[in-house]
Structure formats: structure tokens, C-alpha cells
Amino acid sequence: MRSRDAFRIGYVRRRNRLFSSPRFQHWAARLPVIRWIARSRANGAFDLLAGFTYSQVLRAFVEGGAFPILAEGPLTPAEVAARMDLSEDAALTLLRAGRALMLTEEPAPGLWMLGEQGAVFATNPGVQAMVRHHRLLYADLADPLALLRADRREPTALSRFWTYAGALHGGAERGVETAEYSRLMAASQHFVASEVLASVGFGKVRRLLDVGGGHGAFLRAIGTAHPHLALGLFDLPEVVETGARLLGEAVGAERVTAHPGNFFKDSIPQGYDMVSLVRILHDHDDAPAQALLANIRASLAPGARLLIAEPMACIPGLAPMGEAFFGLYLWAMGSGRPRSPAELTAMLRHAGFRRTRVVATAQPVNASVILATV
């Protein structure tokens, strides 16, 4: 063990012993600066305890239709109750819970409207689709140790939903799964596209291929913003047929080329100067993800680039999103894991890419970006 590691381990051990001491906690609660830090730690600890309740309040707002109802406000609790099929007391309890989370606001006594966060959710169908979808994750996490101890090949509520995980588990209704997968991806894909458009230049790109592009939501956003681009869509046959048609209707069929195939088994189409992987790698374990990168590298001519856009682990200020949320989410899905930019960079170099660059994004909670050059 390196001396620096030993020092760090010793520091953490001493810190934890101190923080767990009732005498220290009593002392810290009475010193002004230390009291502020202690209170912040206590609030964070309570948020860990109560986080599931917060998410269920949000779920009740989405599934109960509270956002469009309150968008017509101000409304009384009785009016909200009648439209949500709740008792007045239950509606008031939900409204007050939403107020604590900035979903609602009571600008005048007894009158309720959307709060700041509520106004954002009310106009964002992509976020609402994800909230509805997360009921599957919560079902799988009802017993988290049972989930972690189970064989990852065993189907879960989440893996039955997702196309590729469902296919890996032998899902019988694969066509239904792919359709649901593509609808959800299309509903939320604009978040990632917005980050990419704000951080990556496409002026010198002529032909862009999206691998695993579903129904073309990402290509639609990029192609609309950059009408000079020729667009290629590569995905499973039952997905790409519909995707290419919808994409062609949006940006012009003459700009779109459909490439049906399986990116683990089939060669990646050649002739593109940029290939994109949007929220694909983190869905797959290390070996298949590395194989996919090698498959893409083999298709690219010198100077061509690969764009990776997805939520990543170990992002400063967003560690819980990467490893706590997506770590458990992908475990429940039965495939994949969140990776840090450093891990992805090492995989890209192993696949034969010469240069890699991590591109800063304004909202890495939606996606971080890496560009790799052949």
C-alpha cells in the first residue's frame, strides 16, 4: 500500500471515529461555524432517509394529473380534490408536501398554484415520462439486498421493460418492448441533444451516424439545427424502419439512410465522419461495451470522430447521480454500469482511438460528452 493511501485511510478512520462521538456532536452543535456544517450534514442525512418519500410525492403529482390541474390555478384544495378524486384532506396533504419540494405554492391563504419546480415539470413531458417509468425501479428496489444478491441474468421489472435487457433475458414480446423503449427514449432524448448542441460543433461534419439511435430523436434535433448534415440511423430492424420514416418526415427523407443491424454482431456502416453513441455504453457491461467501441473504430477512416454522450460517474458535484442512482438503476436493468470519463477514455484508447477529449456541458446531470478521434 502506498504511503499516501495509508495516510488517507488513517484520516478517514480518525474522522469517522470523531464524527460518531456523541460528545463531539454535542460540542459541534454549539459552535457557530461548526454548527452550520453539522446542520448541513444532518439535513443531508435526513434527505437520505426521506428521499423515497420525495420521489413518491412527485409520482403522485404526475400520475394524478396535478400539474395540468394546478396550471389553471389558483385553486382551492376542494377544487383540486374533486379533479384528482381525493378527499379534501388528502389533497391538502399532497399540496403541502409539494410546497416543501417547490412543486406547489400558496400565494394567498387557501389558494394553490404551481411552484417553481412544478412549473418546470408541468411543461416537460420527458421528465414526466421518466417519473412514470421509475415505478419499475422502485418495485425492484423494494428489497435492495435481494436485488443485489440475485443473479443479474434473472429478469426484473426494469429489465423486462427495456428493449435490449429484455432481449438478453429472452423477452417474448420483443416488439412491444422496443416500441416502449423508443417512446421513452424519444420523450427524454432532447435533454441530451441540447447538451450536445451547446457543446459540440458540427460545422465540419458532413455525415453523422447514430448507433443505437432508436426512433431518431437525437438525429432529429441535431439534423434540424444543422441542415447540411446527412444522417444515418443504425438500430435493430424492427426499430430502424419506423425510426427512419419518422426522421425522414421531420428533416427530409433524402437526408436519411436507414441501417438495420445489431451493433454487436454486424459491421458498423462506413463512410461517416462522425458516429454518435447516445446513452448506449452505460447500458452494457465492460466486455460488450469494449467490443462495440472496437467495432465502431474499425468503421472509421482517419480523422473521423466518435461522440459519446451519456450520464457519467465521478462528475464533480454529481457523484450521487452517477454511482448511487445510475449504479443501482443499471444493476436492476441487468446490464451495464455508469463509467467515469477516465474509464471511458481508457476504453477508447484500448479500442484504438488516437485522441480523446472530455467536453464540458452545462448540465452534466443530463449528459457528459467525450469526443474521440481516429
Q: Domain residues of the chain, as ranges?
A: 31-122, 126-373
Using 50, 70 and 90 to split pLDDT, how confident is the model at 170?
Answer: very low
**Closest C-alpha among 168, 332, 369 to residue 264:** 168
Write down the pLDDT at residue 294.
97
DSSP designation for 320 = I
Write down the pLDDT at residue 2.
75
Check pLDDT > 50 for residue 43: yes
pLDDT digits (tens, 9 = 90+) for 115-161: 999 999 998 877 888 888 889 999 999 999 999 999 988 889 888 87
Residue 85: enclosing H or E segment and its boundaries? none
Taking the CA atoms of residue 85, residue 88, residue 92 and residue 93 in that order, the dihedral angle to the nearest 10 degrees is: -80
User: What are the residues facing 355 on neighbouring strands?
Assistant: 373
Check pLDDT > 90 for residue 234: yes
Class of domain 126-373: alpha beta
Residue 314's alpha-carbon distances to 311, 329, 365, in angstroms, are 10, 16, 11
pTM for this model (two decimals): 0.80
Check pLDDT > 50 for residue 169: no
Residue 11: is it exposed, middle or buried by C-beta count within 10 angstroms (0-12/13-18/19+)? exposed
Q: How far apart are CA 62 and CA 79, in angstroms?
A: 17
Task: Give the mean model confidence (pLDDT) for residues 28-46.
Answer: 63
Q: Which CATH number fits domain 31-122: 1.10.10.60, 1.10.10.10, 3.40.47.10, 1.20.120.420?
A: 1.10.10.10
CB 257 within 8 A of CB 232: yes
Using 50, 70 and 90 to split pLDDT, how confident is the model at 193?
Answer: very high
Using 50, 70 and 90 to split pLDDT, how confident is the model at 163?
Answer: low
Check pLDDT > 50 for residue 42: yes
Q: How far is CA 26 from the centre of its chain?
A: 40
pLDDT digits (tens, 9 = 90+) for 263-277: 999 999 999 999 999
